[in-house]
Amino acid sequence: MITVKKLVKRFGLKTILRGLDFEVQPGEFVALLGPNGAGKTTFLRILASLSRPSLGEVRVAGYRLPNEAAQVRARLGVVSHQPLLYGDLSAEENLRFYARMYNIADMDARITEVLDMVGLESRRRDLVRTFSRGMQQRLAIGRAVLHDPDVMLFDEPYTGLDQDASSMLDEVLKTVAAQGRTVVMTSHDLARAEELATRFDILSRGVITSSATRKQLKKSNLLTFYKEALAG
């Protein structure tokens, strides 16, 4: 579903990604872990077609970036630590706006379905600026799945959420993954990553240094694996 070969990303003289290779099979849930500045967000922005690769090959859902970016974007949902929502619009209006941008058929029914999924049906007419951070993040997930993408990218979705909001987000994330989507999530929260993901990749200094599936991890825990990967 996602194939990345020898990806390099430079900003001026600074090289962020240094020949990164990465592959995700359909239906996999990959947690991309690593320290601050490792290049996780940059990598996700390239997969989301928000940033151009300097060198290397990137394919998402069979389409090549950046040449076939529109086809990739039609099959991609992105959730970051920012909600990408308009505070002066209601929950429903935000989804209606994005539904029009994605030219979604049967818009009204889909908006209701998504609001129901993220548990915000009763607040559909309320302005987003009156929502708590957790509710905004749930609506952000609703926005991202509105067009029913095959691939979901989550960039630190738990940032700024309290315990209750994080637990609610867990439920929504599990739902999204259970629908057979391919998911890549960056996170500093190892416990949550361990609970949700089926594979764990460690990104350090611009390359994937280690990778393990949930089965392989059973012998150790994720924290030990993470520390060993960074030390190596």
Partner 1 sequence: MANNVNRVTTTVTADRRSQSGLRTRPSGNFFKAVSAVIWKDILAEYRSLELVSAMTVFSLLVIIIFNFALDLDIKMRQTVTAGVLWATFSFAGTLGLNRSMSVEKDRGCLDGLLLAPVDRSAIYFGKAISNLAFMLLVELIVLPVYSVLYGMNLFLPGLLMVILLGSIGYVGVGTLLATMSVQTRTRDVLLSILLFPVILPVLLPAIIASNGFLAGSALADILFPLAILIAYDVIFIAVAFMVFDNVVEE
> In the complex, which residues of this chain contact partner 1 (CB under 8 A)?
11, 45, 48-52, 66, 70-71, 73-76, 78, 80, 82-89, 93, 97-98, 100-105, 110, 113, 116-117, 119, 127, 143, 146-150, 168, 171-172, 174-175, 178-181
Rounded least distance, CB 186 to partner 1, Å: 15
Cβ partners under 8 Å of residue 48, min gap 6: 73, 76, 78, 153
The nearer residue to partner 1, 35 or 66, going by C-beta atoms, is 66
Length of the chain in terms of residues written = 232
Rounded least distance, CB 125 to partner 1, Å: 13
Rounded least distance, CB 24 to partner 1, Å: 15
Rounded least distance, CB 11 to partner 1, Å: 8
The nearer residue to partner 1, 23 or 113, going by C-beta atoms, is 113
Query: Listing from the earlier edge strand, what are the strands of the sheet with 199-204?
Result: 76-79, 151-155, 182-186, 29-33, 199-204, 207-213
What count of other Cβ atoms lies within 10 Å of the Cβ of residue 35? 13
The nearer residue to partner 1, 122 or 221, going by C-beta atoms, is 122
Judge contact between 21 and 5, C-beta under 8 A: yes
Cβ partners under 8 Å of residue 199, min gap 6: 24, 28, 29, 30, 31, 211, 212, 213, 214
The nearer residue to partner 1, 48 or 193, going by C-beta atoms, is 48
